[in-house]
Amino acid sequence: MNDSWCQGYKVVHQFSKEVNERLRGSLKLFSIYGIPVDINPTWLIAVVIITWSLSTGAYPAFFQMWSPQQYWIAGIITTFLLFASVLAHELGHSFAALAQGLKVRGITLLLFGGVSRIQGKATRPRNEFLIAFAGPAVSLIIGLVLIVWWIKFHPSHEYMVTPLHGIIFFTGWMNILVAGFNLLPGYPMDGGRVLRSVVWGFTGNTRFASKVALRVGRVVFYLLIGWGVWQIFNGDVIGGIWIGLIAWFLMSSARNEQEEQDNSVVIEQDRLGFEIRNIITPMPPMIEHDQLISDILIDLELTQLMGSIPVSKDGELRGFITGADLERIPLEQRRELAIGKITRSESLRFCSRFDSGRDVLHAMDKYGVMQLVVMDDGYVFGIVTREGVTKAVQEFPYTTDISQPTDQM
């Protein structure tokens, strides 16, 4: 018995590796806002299984007044809408990553859902949380909108329910299930990444956070396998096998990721070990503390508002604000409030041009700032920003591919 389980694990483990290796060989469909969308041949397996399950099982069980042709039409349409929803889910991850300054190499649809190939890693717990949660949030919104439509507009009599109503009903519930399933705390699923970001935020230790997420994920995946076996014994053979395969595949993917993390510890340390003197940017033009916020928003260019804005008093630097700080001020207060009133003195922090990327990121996290003033021997060389450090990490010359898939559905 143990030998068969070990052999089965090896098969799935090898299969997950082959899927990861063949992502590059997927067929490109199109691009959305510059993000390539590919389809892996394994996706066709999922199309057949899901369509067959819906057309011969789910739809006949819920809606018994349709013809066989209607069941199959509804099953096919629902399957493709599900994968469109999975694409929307992955776009949620991708757009969130782009908003954090990361690059997205593409999205691939495959057997167990989809994967966003994000280049680089989040440098803050909050960023990782937003990227991980964005996908399930999109699925949940789609699902709730469709279910609310169904509740409000579906016919009161069963014989009046058309395939269109059924498609909306099932697509809505399947999106909610996708959101809920992905939020299970099983790394490398979305919920596992959310858990990792929370532990990282509380402890400040990414390695410890990864270990916690991986161990909790292992428990979750064993429970899913047990649920799949229970489903089989209760007559749902296809559903049980499908659940078990997904759990086993994700567990194998988690082990692959753990191996990659263990092998990349030294590289990861090196990537943040560079001296920041090569990424120093000139000090932006300073703004006097008595200028009104409304005038600043008019005078400054968009590129300046996207970065750190130094605030001075009588020519002396007093702190920094960001465009986001200004935008949060209510419109009615902008004509009366001076920029000095919202500038925190704690935002003025210093570092040396010989500090490492790791040191400055730690300082930014500690003080809650987006930039540090680079000063040595009383001379100000400029500033270093979180965006600059992140970009330097992404362009680290000793790694050719530091992509991280976000999830498997």
Same domain, 255 and 289: no
Angle at Cα 174 formed by Cα 168 and Cα 177, nearest 5°?
145
Clarify whether residues 184 and 296 are in a common domain: no
d(CA 55, CA 238): 13
Is there a contact between 207 and 262 (Cβ–Cβ < 8 Å)? no
Same domain as 260, residue 302: no
Distance CA 286, CA 296 (A): 11
Q: Which of 74, 84, 69, 83 is nearest to 53 (CA)?
A: 74
Q: For the segment 221-271, what is each residue's pLDDT rounded down to a tens digit?
A: 888 788 888 888 887 776 777 777 777 766 666 666 655 555 544 445 556
For the stretch 145-177, pLDDT in tens is: 999 999 988 887 777 888 999 999 999 999 999
Is residue 339 in a domain? yes
Do 146 and 291 lie in one domain? The reply is no
Other Cβ atoms closer than 10 A to 163: 20
CATH number of domain containing 291: 3.10.580.10
Q: Are residues 159 and 298 in the same domain?
A: no
Determine, yes or no, domain membership for 326.
Answer: yes
User: What's the pLDDT at 352?
Assistant: 93
Whether residue 188 is found in the same domain as residue 320? no
Which residue range forms the structural domain that includes residue 311?
A: 276-394
Residue type, 191: G
Q: For the chain, what is the domain count?
A: 2
Please list the rounded mean pLDDT of every run of 10 residues in the chain (409 residues).
42 46 64 87 84 89 89 94 93 91 85 79 85 94 94 81 91 92 84 90 82 83 82 78 71 61 50 83 87 78 63 88 78 84 87 89 84 89 88 58 47
Would you state the structure tokens that stand for residue 56, as one six-digit string?
């011969």
